[in-house]
Amino acid sequence: MSITLHSPLDMHLHLRDGEMLQTVAPLSSETFAGAIVMPNLVPPVTTKEELIGYKARIQEAIGNDTFTPYMTLFFKPTYTKAFLESVKDELTAIKLYPAGITTNSEGGVSGFDIEELRPTLEAMSELEIPLCIHGETNGFVMDREAEFVAIYEKLATAFPKLTIIMEHITTKASVEALDKFDNLYATITLHHLLITLDDVAGGMLQPHLFCKPIAKRPEDREALRKVALEAHPKVMFGSDSAPHPQHAKEACGCAAGVFTAPIALQVLADLFKQHSTIENLQKFVSDNAKKIYKHITVPKKIVTLEKKPFVVPAKYGNVIPMYAGETLKYSIA
């Protein structure tokens, strides 16, 4: 039995730059119609010129594939309304990182003083530019996301017209926050629907499953699965596929990130099929995102999955994917 998806979207994707961009971008553009592209390069994307230049490099890397990169800026509280108006046509969202919390986030926000953030966030509200947030504090690693929920609530209350995306949520607490505020939404990754901390560190350490936010408890995974499998209208798929070269993953000081771009749709199809909710997959990987990001233009693209074994390559370039060497039940037709 085949499964047909119309214009699947990845609403949280890392494409990196340079040689890595050339390797990984075609692996997303082959199977997705578009993706929200993260801005945490070195240095981060903060100007119109950098934004346009990065988009051009992505388009060159994907060749003739039907794929729209939805571009983002790295949040700065000094962005003015005039600047945001000048870049709005090139921009889909702005990504806020707490300082130093994840890969290349050293220039992020150090504290969440509402008054300091207000000018930029009010301008974003007026211009209808969504705010994507990596929501973690600097507390104990298993509690960081749950602790950040209070900040989400403060922001959602202070800026009720601002669309706020809780990125790659991993906890039951974040799921429960979804329905408290009309302007709060979330992306959910493939790997957080599948693994818990036990899979990462319960036996031999699995560096290719180490990510931030770190995988949590079984009850957190079940909460994520519930809203994803029912295609709750406030959640959407965002892979957070985050490639690192093998030497950076299999090393002391392992880089955080799970590379899932080449297998995401195949594994999602299997997961939804196993739970008898395959009719909701289209909403989770496309329809919900189009409603949440109401200003995006999505190219038409049909992706068909068939129940045919697919052996995941051991490597793509120098990047090891999730399930490397294993056989999946579904293939891209």
Q: Where are the domains of the chain?
A: 3-332
Tens digits of per-residue pLDDT, 58-68?
999 999 999 99
* Residues sharing a CB contact under 8 Å with residue 316, sequence separation 6 or more, in sequence order: 23, 24, 27, 259, 262
pLDDT of residue 99: 83
Encoded tokens for 116: 């300091």
Phi, psi of 180 (to 5 degrees): -85, -25
Task: Look over the chain and give the mean of its residue pLDDT values, rounded to a whole number.
Answer: 96
Bridging pattern class, strands 68-70 and 34-37: parallel
pLDDT category of residue 108 using cuts at 50, 70 and 90: confident
Q: Which of 9, 8, 13 is nearest to 243 (CA)?
A: 13
**Under 8 Å between Cβ of 257 and 14:** yes
pLDDT category of residue 203 using cuts at 50, 70 and 90: very high
CB neighbour class for 326 (10 Å; exposed up to 12, middle 13-18, buried from 19): exposed
pLDDT over threshold 90, residue 54: yes
d(CA 320, CA 331): 19
Angle at 285 between CA 282 and CA 287, to 5 degrees: 60
Angle at 238 between CA 162 and CA 33, to 5 degrees: 100
* Catalytic residue list contains 113: no
3-state secondary structure (DSSP) of residue 132: strand
Give mean pLDDT, residues 169-195.
Answer: 98
pLDDT over threshold 90, residue 22: yes
Give mean pLDDT, residues 289-314.
Answer: 98
d(CA 90, CA 163): 18
Lowest-confidence segment of 111-115, 138-142, 162-166, 305-309 by average pLDDT: 111-115
pLDDT category of residue 228 using cuts at 50, 70 and 90: very high
C-alpha distances (whole Å) from 159 to each of 121, 182, 291 are 7, 11, 20
What is the model's pTM?
0.97
What percent of the chain has a predicted confidence (pLDDT) above 70? Answer: 100
pLDDT over threshold 90, residue 260: yes
Residues 290, 292, 294, 295, Cα dihedral to 10°:
-90
pLDDT category of residue 111 using cuts at 50, 70 and 90: confident
Catalytic residue, from 10, 220, 240, 287: name it: 240
Domain at 3-332, CATH class: alpha beta
